[in-house]
């Protein structure tokens, strides 16, 4: 190998080492000038080709061509690598702020449910739970519901096993029509005093419209002790309404009938939209019904094994959908179940 050939191989090695360290286009250009530029290493070596003896020229010329090709290839490869790096770098810009993941939020039904639970818990009630699938015994019989009540028929209530049980059979299984059976479960499980609330889902064979669904939510309340009075019930619901709908909210009781309470009442809150003057939301009356309630019927105490002569208590059942409609001024309950995120995002 001639000296020139050695120098050429050496130059190629230098080029490769230099290019391996190149990390941007400016550095690449510097290399190009250093090795291939007019005053660079390669033209200097090429200039020596003329001094090579005639007989060695073909062999040296071949080496020159090979080295030139390899050097060109090394520059091309380096350029391609930089391009690729740039593409990857622009795809992953680590200085960009992180992408926010939409985590959603609570459904308006749950928002109202959670507020109601929080308010009653502050008053000392604890949350009790019961199954959505109930027995006729718990949902109707123990609650003193008369056998001829129309709500018990399969036209009004979802039964599971009518091929095995008559719908009056205490063991027949249904989708609970109210949260009141949780009262029965709670009282059977413990002695007084009892102070529970039970938020949950109920089911009825209603034709859905703006104010009815075949499934809806209630929050049941039960307070059993000695010397509990209707005044305690009213005070509790009044305090609840003020917390839930605003400090100026008033409540009123209207006489009603429920088999499991005696006396029974329906509880209205003063309309939060018009403050009681009368508007479209309260249909001009100034009041909006929020709960059924009353003093626990001694027959119910008897059914759960409590002494009906010495035990007293009140109970109530609040409609969650109704409260959501009042709180958020929603005029059709079905909107709550359509699951259109454009609607749900507003709450
Ligand atoms: N269970 C009743 C209903 O679904 C609501 C109710 C009324 C619950 C009076 C009660 C009560 O606990 O005392 O219509």
Q: Over the stretch 54-83, which tens digit does the pLDDT of each residue have?
A: 888 888 888 888 888 888 888 888 888 888
Per-residue model confidence as pLDDT tens digits over 157-167 = 999 989 999 99
Q: Is it the case that residue 1 has pLDDT exceeding 80?
A: no
Q: What is the mean pLDDT of the chain?
A: 92
Report the percentage of the chain scoring pLDDT > 90.
61
3-class secondary structure, 53: coil
CA distance 64 to 2: 12
pLDDT at 110: 96
Nearest ligand 1 atom to the CA of 314 is 13
Query: Which residues, judged by CB distance below 6 Å to any ligand atom, belong to the binding site of ligand 1?
Result: 178, 180, 220, 258, 261, 292-294, 315-317
Per-residue model confidence as pLDDT tens digits over 224-236 = 999 999 999 999 9
316 CA to middle of ligand 1, Å?
Answer: 6
End-to-end CA distance of the chain: 85
CA distance 264 to 259: 8
Quote the tokens at residue 185: 């479960």
CA distance 183 to 157: 19
Partners of 266 in the beta sheet?
254, 292
3-class secondary structure, 223: strand
Probe target for ligand 1 pocket from 125, 142, 216, 258, with the most ligand atoms within 8 Å of CB: 258
Q: Is the peptide bond before 263 cis (omega within 30 degrees of 0)?
A: yes
Phi, psi dihedral angles at 44 (to 5 degrees) = -65, -40
Four-residue CA torsion sign, 204, 209, 212, 217: positive
Probe target for ligand 1 pocket from 134, 290, 292, 323, with the most ligand atoms within 8 Å of CB: 292
214 CA to middle of ligand 1, Å?
Answer: 17
* Contacts for 11 with CB less than 8 Å, ≥ 6 apart: 35, 41, 42, 45, 67, 71
274 CA to middle of ligand 1, Å?
Answer: 27
220 CA to middle of ligand 1, Å?
Answer: 7
Mean pLDDT of 34-39: 86
pLDDT at 266: 98
| Binding-site residues for Mg(2+) | 262
Confidence of residue 243 (pLDDT cuts 50, 70, 90): very high
Q: Which residues of 203-224 are buried (b: 16+ CB within 10 A; e: fewer)?
A: bbeeeeeeeebeebbbbbbbbb
In this structure, the residue with its CA closest to atom 7 of ligand 1 is: 292
Identify which has the larger pLDDT, 143 or 211: 143
CA distance 347 to 341: 10
3-class secondary structure, 98: coil
Nearest ligand 1 atom to the CA of 317 is 8
In this structure, the residue with its CA closest to atom 5 of ligand 1 is: 317
180 CA to middle of ligand 1, Å?
Answer: 6
Task: Find the range with the poorest average confidence among 65-74, 252-261, 264-273.
Answer: 65-74
What pTM was estimated for this model as a whole? 0.73
In this structure, the residue with its CA closest to atom 12 of ligand 1 is: 316
339 CA to middle of ligand 1, Å?
Answer: 28
280 CA to middle of ligand 1, Å?
Answer: 26
| Binding-site residues | 262
pLDDT at 66: 87
Q: Is it the case that residue 149 has pLDDT exceeding 80?
A: yes
* Contacts for 26 with CB less than 8 Å, ≥ 6 apart: none
Nearest ligand 1 atom to the CA of 220 is 12
Long-range contacts for 276-281 (Cβ within 8 Å, ≥24 apart)?
276/250, 281/326, 281/329
Quote the tokens at residue 192: 């007084």
Quote the tokens at residue 186: 């709670």
Nearest ligand 1 atom to the CA of 183 is 12
41 CA to middle of ligand 1, Å?
Answer: 98
Question: Got the DSSP string for 166-220?
Answer: -TT-TT-EEE-SSSTHHHHHHHHHSPSPEEEEEEEEEE--PPPBTTB-SEEEEEE
Probe target for ligand 1 pocket from 177, 198, 230, 317, with the most ligand atoms within 8 Å of CB: 317
Confidence of residue 312 (pLDDT cuts 50, 70, 90): very high
3-class secondary structure, 290: strand
Q: How many residues does the chain have?
A: 347
Task: Find the range with the poorest average confidence among 92-96, 256-260, 292-296.
Answer: 92-96
Per-residue model confidence as pLDDT tens digits over 112-147 = 999 999 999 999 999 999 999 999 999 999 999 999
Probe target for ligand 1 pocket from 128, 263, 293, with the most ligand atoms within 8 Å of CB: 293
């Amino acid at each position: 190998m001639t000296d020139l050939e050695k120098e050429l191989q050496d130059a190629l090695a230098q080029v490769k080492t230099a290019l391996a360290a190149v990390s941007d286009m400016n550095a690449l250009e510097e290399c190009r000038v250093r090795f291939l530029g007019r005053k660079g290493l390669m033209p200097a070596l090429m200039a020596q080709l003329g001094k090579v003896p005639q007989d060695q020229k073909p062999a040296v010329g071949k080496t020159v061509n090979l080295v030139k090709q390899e050097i060109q290839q090394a520059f091309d490869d380096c350029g391609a690598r930089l391009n690729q790096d740039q593409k990857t770098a622009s795809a992953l810009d680590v200085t960009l702020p992180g992408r926010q993941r939409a985590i959603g939020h609570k459904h308006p039904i749950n928002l109202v449910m959670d507020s109601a639970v929080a308010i009653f818990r502050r008053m000392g009630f604890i949350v009790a739970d019961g199954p959505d699938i109930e027995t006729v015994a718990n949902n109707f019989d123990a609650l003193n519901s008369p056998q001829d009540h129309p709500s018990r028929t399969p036209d009004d209530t979802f039964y599971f096993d009518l091929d095995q049980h008559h719908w009056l059979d205490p063991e027949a299984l249904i989708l609970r029509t109210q949260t009141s059976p949780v009262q029965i479960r709670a009282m059977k499980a413990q002695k007084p005093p009892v102070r529970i609330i039970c938020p949950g889902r109920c089911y009825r064979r209603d034709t859905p419209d703006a104010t009815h669904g075949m499934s809806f939510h209630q929050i049941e309340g039960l307070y059993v002790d000695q010397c509990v009075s209707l005044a305690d019930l009213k005070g509790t619901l009044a305090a609840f309404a003020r917390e839930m709908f605003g400090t100026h909210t008033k409540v009123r009781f209207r006489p009603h009938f429920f088999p499991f309470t005696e006396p029974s009442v329906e509880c209205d809150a003063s309309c939060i939209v018009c403050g009681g003057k009368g508007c479209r939301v309260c249909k001009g009356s100034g009041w909006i019904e929020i709960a059924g309630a009353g003093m626990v019927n001694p027959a119910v105490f008897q059914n759960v094994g409590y002494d009906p002569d010495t035990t007293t208590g009140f109970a109530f059942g609040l409609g969650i959908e109704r409260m959501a409609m009042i709180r958020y001024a929603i005029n059709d309950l079905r909107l709550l179940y359509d699951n259109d995120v454009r609607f749900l995002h507003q709450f």
